[in-house]
């Protein structure tokens, strides 16, 4: 029997260059959970320097900070999403969800019983 058909869809937001996509969205969600960019990056198997660079590139392109951080000390530093960063992440996830729902519907309509 032939494999059922499926598709993949990955959404990215561009300005002059790629600004935001599923990778940075996951990174920010992990920062929100761990309160640490370093821990979030480690959890994704990403170097801290790359995570920092991705966030800074997005912030520069968007024109507002996504994260605010405090320098370590005895208890270590921490990072948190800014209010505007949190709103942008929520809007991105809503957009992603709506596009996927629409794409699922179209895929089913066009490929019918061949789809998973």
Structurally, the chain folds into a number of domains equal to 1
CATH code, 104: 1.10.10.10
Query: Does some domain include residue 11?
Result: no
Range of the domain at 83: 19-65+75-114
* Residue 3 confidence (pLDDT): 77
> Which residue, among 18, 39, 1, 29, has the nearest Cα to 116 in the 3D structure?
1
Query: Does some domain include residue 60?
Result: yes
Query: Does some domain include residue 36?
Result: yes
Query: Does some domain include residue 42?
Result: yes
Q: How would you write the pLDDT of the chain (116 residues) with one tens digit per residue?
A: 467 888 999 999 999 889 999 999 999 999 999 999 999 999 999 999 999 999 999 999 999 999 998 876 666 678 999 999 999 999 999 999 999 999 999 999 998 876 55
- HEC profile for the chain? CCCCECCCCCCCEECCCEEECHHHHHHHHHHHHHCCHHHHHHHCCCCHHHHHHHHHHHHHHHCCCCEEEECCCCCCCEEEECHHHHHHHHHHHHHHHHHHHHHHHHHHHHHHHHEC
Q: What does pTM read for this prediction?
A: 0.86
């Amino acid at each position: 029997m032939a494999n059922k058909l499926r598709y993949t869809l990955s959404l990215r937001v561009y300005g002059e260059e790629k600004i935001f996509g599923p990778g940075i969205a996951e990174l920010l969600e992990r920062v929100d959970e761990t309160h640490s960019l370093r821990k979030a990056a480690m959890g994704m198997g990403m170097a801290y320097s790359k995570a920092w660079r991705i966030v800074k590139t997005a912030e520069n392109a968007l024109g507002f900070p996504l994260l605010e951080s405090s320098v370590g000390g005895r208890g270590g530093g921490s990072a948190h999403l800014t209010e505007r960063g949190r709103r942008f992440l929520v809007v991105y996830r809503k957009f992603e969800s709506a596009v996927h729902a629409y794409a699922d519907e179209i895929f089913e309509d066009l490929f019918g019983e061949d789809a998973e």
